Structure formats: C-alpha cells, structure tokens
Amino acid sequence: MALTIALLAPSLGWAGDITGQVTDEDGAPVFGALVQVVGQGRKTHTDDQGRYRLEGLSRGPATLRFSSEGYDAQTAKIDVPAEGEATADAKLRFSKTYKANEVDVTGQKTMDTSPQTSAHTFTREEIESNAGALEDITKAIQQLPGIVSNTDYSSDMYVRGSEDYENLIVLDHQLLANPYHFGVGLSIIDTDLVKNFTFYAAGFPAQYPFATGSVLDVTYKDGNRDHVDGLAEVSLLSAKAQVTGPATSKASWIVAARRSYYEYAFSLLHWNSLPVPVFSDILVRGMYEPNPYNRFVVIAIRSEDGVKANLQANPTGFDTGTAEYDQVTQVFGLDYTLTPVKWFLARSTASYQTFNFSGNVNSGANNFFGHAVVDGMYVNQEGQFDLGRNLFKFGGVYGRVVLNLNAQFPFSQFVPGAQFASPSKYYTVDFSDNKPKDLYGFYVQHEAEIIPKRLRTNIGVRFDHYTAAESGWVVSPRAAVSTDLTDSTVLKFAWGVYYLPPYNSLISSEKLGNPKIRSEKSTHYVTGIEQGLGSDMMLRIEGYYKEFDDLIFQTVSGSSLSFLNATNFVLNGEIPKIDNRNSGFGKAEGVEVFFQKKLSGWWDGWLAYSLSEVRYNDGLGLYGWYSPTQDQRHTLSLVANFRPLANWVFSTTFRLATGRPDTAVEGWTEMYPRTFLRYWQANNGGINDTRFPLYHRLDVRAEYTWHSTDRFKLTSFAEIYNVYDQRNLWGYYYKDTGGLNVPQRVAIYQLPFLPYVGIKAIFL
C-alpha cells in the first residue's frame, strides 16, 4: 500500500512538509501539543522539545491548529510549498497554571523510561477511530497484549490470566463499581470526552486499591472555557450529543448523552430472533478553578439498560416464556485538588454510587425473579511531595457497600474459568441481605531517580481491610525499577503482591456463603525491555509470571428434586448447602511483544502478540489442574490507521486467537426409561479439556470530512464489523427433544458481518 501511495503522490499534489516548534509564554517547549491540519485529517504531537513535523501535505494554503491541555488553542495560516518544507511555530497562552498529577501522561511519548512496567498510555485521538471498537474505549484496548475477551457481546477483560472481576476502572479519580452495559459489550465511558488514559496490565503501583488483574485509569477533558462547543452524532447503532462551555472565566461545564438503536439496526438486518438490549447514558461534569492553587471537579452519570426476550427463540434451558431485565447505574463524585506550592499536591475525592437491578423469567410454573439495590460510597485522600528526584505519595480510602437483594433464582455451582457442556443441578434460593460491608486502606509510595537519566525506582506498600473477609489487614508491598541501557533502550523489573476482597456478597454471607472467607491473592513478576525506534515508534518485549493463591472455590449439595426439563433440575424445599473455601491456586505465565507507531505522519497503530499459559487448581481434589476459559495460548492483534488522502481516515483491525477451552459432552445416559420422568443425562468429559476453533476477525472503517473550518467540522463514517463474516463460535446449548431422543447440540456464534454508518458534526 505504501508503494501505491508513493506512486500516486505527484498526481495528488503531495509535495511539502511543515515543521516547527510549540512553546508557552515563557518560551518553554510544550510537550505533547496536538498539531492538526484543519480539513485534511492530518495530525501529530510535539516531542519533548516541542518540535513537530507533518510530511507529504497537499501544496497550497493550509490552516494549522495548535492545542494542548492547559493552554488556549491557536491557529495559523501557512502556504505549503511545492517542494521542500515550510516552518510554522506557535506560542500558546496559558489558560490555567495548576499542574495536576495526571498531566504527565499526556502527549506524544514513544518510550516510557519510568519504572512502571506493562503500562500503555494513549490520547483520545489515537483510539477514537479504531475499527471494531464500536467507538468504545474498553473495546479498543482489548487489542493490547495480554488481554483476552471471551465474547464479542461483552467488554469484560481477562488480563494475563486473571478473572474479569479483578480489574479496576478509574474515571476522573472515581473508582467505578459497575462500568459496563449488560449484554451490549460497551462501557459507560464516553470516548469523545476522554483526554487520555493509561492501562496497566500488571505490576501497577500502590496507589490503586482492590485490584489484582489490571487498572484502566481514564481522565476526562475539561469543558471549553472560552466559548460553547460540542458535537452531535447519529449512526445506525446509537445517537449522541455533547455540549461544553464556560460558566465563568474560571469554570466550565459539560453535558453529554447517548442512546442506542441496536433494535432498529438488527431489525433492518432481519435479526429479529436476537434479544437486543437498549441502553442510554447521560453525564454532567463541571470544573471550577478559582485560582492557580485550587481546582474542583464534579461529575454525575446516569446509565440505564434493559431487554425483553422471548425464550422460545433463544438458547436457554427453558422451553417457553419470556425474560426481561432493567438496570440503572448512577455515579456522583466530587474531586478537589489543592496545590499551594509547586512541590506539594493534595487531592480529596468523594463518591456515591448506586446500582439498581430488576429481572424476571416467566416460564410456565417456573418463575424466577430478582431485585437488587447496591449502594456504595467512599472517600479517598491523597497527597504528594515532589522534591525533584524524589516523589513521595501517600493516601487513605474508606468505603461502605450495602446490598439489598430479594430474589428467587436458579443457583448453580461456580467454578472460576470453567465452561461446562450443559447446566446441571440448579437450586432455587431465597436470599436477602442488608448488612453493610466496610473497607479501609492506606498506602505510601516513593518514586526516586537514583542516578540521573540512568536508574529509577518506585517502591510502595498498601494496607487494606475489608470487613466481609476474614483476612483482617492485608499488606501489599510493590516495587519496580528501570535502568537506561542506552539513550533509547530501557530495562525494567517489577514485583508486587495484590489482594482482592470477596467480589460477591453471596460468597461471604452467613446464610449462603462463608463469613470467614479470605481475600484472593495474586503476586506479579514482570521483566521487560523497551526500545525507542526514532521519534515516533517503540518496541516492547515483556515476560511475566503470576501466582494466584486463596482463590475462592465452591461446592454445592442439596436434595428434594423436582422435574424441570430434559437437562436441568430445580431443587425446592430447602436451601442448598454451599461451601466456599479459599482452596484454589494457579499460575499464569507468558511473553508479549508490542510494537507501536504513535500518532504522527500519515499512519499510526500497533501490533501486539502474546504467548501465554494459564492454569487453575481447585485444591479440593474435584478437578485438579485445568485451563480456565481465558487460557488462549496465542493472540495476535494488528491495529492501523491511515491518512493518505486529504479529508480521509482509514482504519483496520485484525485479531487472531487460539480457541477457548471447553468441556465437551462425550455421550448421554437415559435416565428413568419408560417412565414419565424420563430424561437424558449428559456425560461430560474432563473440565475444559477440549478447545473451540481458531478465532479471527477483520474490521474496517473509513471516515470522510465533508466540511471543515476553524469552528465547524462535518464527518461521516462507515464501518464493517467482521468483514468476511467469520462464524466465530461462542458456545453450544443442547436443545430438548421431548425426551424421545438425545438432546441436539446447537452452536451459538458471535457477531456476524455487521455494517453501519453514521455522521458526526463537531462545533469547535
């Protein structure tokens, strides 16, 4: 493709380059400033000297736009020469002088010299047009190394062998308890509001509590403090709107909303048998900065989704009936930052979150329902002393969670990462609980530059206590070191101990669980080397080993059988005996290769490859060692964004992964023959002993800017998900034949060929 573009360049009028430097009012270089060619879709970021280069531009007049967080945007007119290069420098005016801790992750950064391992930092521009991400940040990062996603229908991530519930998502310093829309594979995070984010796959520092798998730390942008701007977007899948503006010269606001239209898109494609969830989000965010020393941010989010399904048309254990659910998530947060002097920062965060879920299944005589309300609040206090080559951080957190659950629902034995061939032994449970669970924690952390530009360390420790766990106070030491082998090569090591309290109130309840359950433990060992390749490329190779201890496994027993259908039973009349134990252990190990081309020139993207193995052991002698569903030995992702023509952006994503483990049905046994209770019992093979076929998928996307000025841009896009309509297997279910013959296996496939288009208007 590069050769084709080179041959076409003369006829397209490509000739000149633009170079320059971006500085602030004091003449200091502005690192990571965004430089855009208005109307041509070409952009880049400045390096640590504030310099930039844009190559192969159409000759003639052009408008450049320079912007960076904390500065007022500037534009400049320039003529691109027929040959050679032109120079355009910019001096940005401060719009605020406060320096928050998160600013240091913004911008063009080809090589990370900090001690932190397994960290990926992106700006919004680098992921906003990724094909196949459905414009969702959590779907976009699933193409990074070490991440397994078991289904197209979910944004859940399994990172380096950990379970999906072991991840922590932080939004504007708010610890999000439920950041996903159920059943649609998207999160409540609005990608158009993202300023930057960092994803930690392992070895993350002590400041992050209650996570053993990974951390996604997202920072939203502030509203425009100069004038009102915004955007409106409509596609076949959803519609969204966003408006920002100044409240005063020292304050700004943002209002954003979106609503899905999946039901209409699926109807156009005649997929009427699929249950289609509907979701909506609304966000209000305000920022107030009365002076350079104080900054306030308030945020409120309301997210809702639900679905109604006809059970006859879907793979369930019920023959007839309907099912429906509705859930509402609300987040209210306040963040206050104080920087009285340049070497000290204090941050106070308070958050209240509520989750309300209702659902029911109506299937003849078997009616199940559930209603849950979860209220959570926490306060977090952090501080830091920046003493040049030594940075000291400390903080404490207190939280409380209250669950009110009234339900009658099928309850089956839970085995982490296991996929069973068919459901068996379901229990009906009546449960209610409103006992508060408290959590406490604090940490200290020291980041130091031991030898200037050569050797750095990050050493910290957490102390945490969760009242629903018998562990008492747990201690989590963590350490990382980096050393520069050359000016462009960095060697890193990291080690850490991480604890996660019981993720489900049922597990630690006195009635159904084990009030003496302990927190699950994970130990990370990471080593890696990072190589800078020129001004905008980087190669990273990492090896890791993770130990899992005190994993929670469960055994369930009960009696009082009653007939339900051919492959399921429901036990009524007594609460089953449930035994939760910290008996499990496991390991994950692997090697990852990550090559990245940052946003500059006419293309950017990355290639990620992972070779890994994950093994769990229940420690009870029931299953022994087995491969959980996240044990995908080989994964390969290729993400590329091209800007070869003025006004056009082309994106493509390809993913390849070896099949997920599965438990096969090896045969059937006829039970109670020649009676009205006759049914077929599945004879399962070893747990997760077989594997699904290879998973692979290609997605493409094209954007075209129809009209662009300094204040307005109109862009249309078209995307195709699963271009060649690969039938990737999701799983199997077994259809009842009325007991006359063995149940029939029916395959369930993931998302098929899915085209959609949309148009976006941006007001600058």
Least confident of 281-285, 418-422, 523-527: 418-422
Higher pLDDT, 379 or 264: 379
The answer to whether the beta carbons of residues 576 and 569 sit under 8 Å apart is no
Question: Can you say how many angstroms the Cα of residue 18 is from the centroid of all Cα atoms in its chain?
Answer: 36
Does 32 have pLDDT greater than 60? yes
Nearest to 476 by CA among 501, 503, 496: 496
Q: What is the mean pLDDT of residues 132-153?
A: 85
β-pair type (85-87, 14-24): parallel
Lowest-confidence region among 95-99, 253-257, 465-469, 517-521? 95-99
In angstroms, the CA 29 to CA 666 distance is 67
CATH superfamily of the domain spanning 220-367+374-763: TonB-dependent receptor, beta-barrel domain (2.40.170.20)
Q: Give the pLDDT band of residue 331 (cuts 50, 70, 90).
A: very high
Q: What is the pLDDT of residues 679-730, one digit of tens each?
A: 788 888 889 999 999 999 999 999 998 877 778 889 999 999 999 999 999 8
Residue 361: alpha-carbon gap to chain centroid: 30
Length of the chain, please? 764
Most confident of 34-38, 240-244, 599-603: 240-244
The answer to whether the 2-92 and 220-367+374-763 domains have the same CATH topology is no
Tokens found for residue 580: 């939760």
CA–CA separation, 71 vs 95, rounded Å? 5
pLDDT of 184 reads 63
Average pLDDT of every residue of the chain: 83
- From the list 163, 299, 334, the residue with the least C-alpha distance to 223 is 299
Strands 147-148 and 174-176: unpaired
pLDDT in tens, 276-299: 678 899 999 999 999 989 999 999
The label of the residue with tokens 């006359």 reads 740
- What phi, psi does 329 have (nearest 5°)? -115, 130
State the pLDDT at residue 480: 97
Helix ranges (DSSP H) in 418-504:
none
d(CA 216, CA 192): 17
* Per-residue confidence (pLDDT) for residue 339, from 0 to 100: 92
CB 522 within 8 A of CB 550: no
Query: Quick one: which of 179, 529, 172 has its CA closest to 335?
Result: 172
pLDDT digits (tens, 9 = 90+) for 180-229: 887 666 788 998 899 888 999 999 999 998 899 999 999 998 998 888 99
Q: Where in the chain are the domains?
A: 2-92, 220-367+374-763
- The reported pLDDT for the residue numbered 487 is 87
Query: CB under 8 Å to 451, separation ≥6 — which residues?
Result: none
Which class is 2-92 in CATH?
A: mainly beta
- pLDDT value of position 483: 95
Question: What's the pLDDT band for 560 if we cut at 50, 70, 90?
Answer: very low
41 φ, ψ (degrees, to nearest 5): 70, 15
- Among the residues of 325-467, which ranges form H helices? none
Give me the pLDDT at residue 540, please: 96
d(CA 110, CA 612): 26
